[in-house]
Structure 1
């Protein structure tokens, strides 16, 4: 959504924007779902779970990206998966390891926070960050986030101004804010989702190679973890692979 040609967040900010984000932000009922974009050639599954992509010796301008994940009724979605990947300071993607790749889940208020760097440029594209967003047991949204004021925005054929982050600075670190609105119905009159059944259970310690059933399908564990609600196999492709 754009207001006066500038990017706007799904939530309404108070005049004192330096205050912490409110636990239950107000969302504009008129927001459309966040538009999808191409995955591109550099996505890799099984990224590590982490909220910071900055490692020892990382070169580049520090950037913190934060925001919320909402559904269509403007209610925050807890336990939503966000899988980020981007180029390094020189515009290169790590296709061997997992530098500048990582996934995380929104907290109980639907909030997320990512520490990274401003990605470099590579031929044919403006500056951007890739992300996959998935509410528990819902389809995956694949999209990209953009930076306002970039010269390459006008020449990038897939650039979409609806995906502009709201940028700022804090203590020498650039800050970007963006709220994802997923195409998820949140009508309280809707009947609850049926219990999927199966052998997967929250609280269980799973190791790579373990197999479970969930919703009539079989899944294989990709990364060792202790299962919690919101990380059911269909909701956590970084943790489970359908077999």
Structure 2
């Protein structure tokens, strides 16, 4: 989990994710923590978190494809068909490169078992692919997969950035008893999960082995102001600070250092109109 630095500013990934997730509830943004928390059973140790995407970090771990992958899945973000039995599940998140910058156009191909633990090997039920948006985001609507002998609960995925190799891996659910007996289980691939009125919501951010430039580094002494406003790149803002930009007034919601592209109208998770 990301924490604040000694200067009181949240870490780079927290601010970037907050900026991307403009629809995130304000309280979660203000706390500077992910909106979803891992659920642990009594006595279960907190797992190692999914790798955060800072310069030089390792990418999301790969795992075996398994025997049930099928190519040419339909392009769709919902795997539900009619009155599909099972507990509804939404999985959302972002795909980042090694410098913590989002990657658009990433192919994500998902496949999983149905609520009874069976794979459809003749058709394409619970199989589908999609592409990340301009902000690197994705969202999958499906059900909680069932269990079958020898495995814990999981979802398969292949992720491929444009022109890059394919990452094949699996996503896991926290608090599952079989996590302790499944030899393939990797705690770094745990999703964050919460209950949502009879359904479940999960989140996972992929970090692909895609080299990236880290982007412009803010300079604290920079004071360039946009026309008609006091907001300035490189300024370290605190929650509650007030600025103007483009003739409108804004109040800071979360401590951060201003960067190009993070002008108040562009990042509702960091600024609200006064």
One fold, TM greater than 0.5?
A: yes
Residue 132 of structure 1 corresponds to 158
1:17 shift after superposition: 2.8
Structure 1 stretches of 4+ moved >6 Å: none
- Give the unaligned 5+ runs of structure 1: 4-9, 190-243
1:32 shift after superposition: 2.1
Structure 1 residues 192-203: aligned runs within 5 Å: none
1:152 shift after superposition: 0.2
Equivalents in 1 of 2:53, 2:147: separation in Å?
33
Q: Answer yes or no: is 1:148 the counterpart of 2:159.
A: no
1:29 shift after superposition: 1.1
- Give the unaligned 5+ runs of structure 2: 4-11, 19-25, 36-51, 216-274
- Name the stretch that deviates more: 179-188 or 75-84: 179-188
Alignment partner of 2:179: what SS?
helix
Structure 1 residues 99-114: aligned runs within 5 Å: 99-114=125-140
CA contact (8 A) 2:53 2:96 kept: no
CA contact (8 A) 2:95 2:132 kept: yes
- Name the stretch that deviates more: 76-85 or 30-39: 30-39
With over 3 angstroms needed to count, the CA separation of the structure-2 counterparts of 1:66 and 1:93, relative to structure 1, is same
Alignment partner of 1:16: what SS?
helix
Residue 166 of structure 1 corresponds to 192
How many residues get paired?
178
With over 3 angstroms needed to count, the CA separation of the structure-2 counterparts of 1:119 and 1:77, relative to structure 1, is same
Residue 28 of structure 2 corresponds to 17
Q: Deviations over 1:202-229 (max 9, x none)?
A: xxxxxxxxxxxxxxxxxxxxxxxxxxxx
Equivalents in 2 of 1:11, 1:167: separation in Å?
20
Alignment partner of 1:126: what SS?
coil
TM-score when normalising by structure 1: 0.68
Structure 1 residues 65-84: aligned runs within 5 Å: 65-84=91-110
RMSD across aligned positions (CA): 2.6
TM-score when normalising by structure 2: 0.60
Residue 122 of structure 2 corresponds to 96
> If you compute each CA radius of gyration, which structure gives the higher value, 1 or 2?
2
Q: Which has the higher strand share?
A: 1
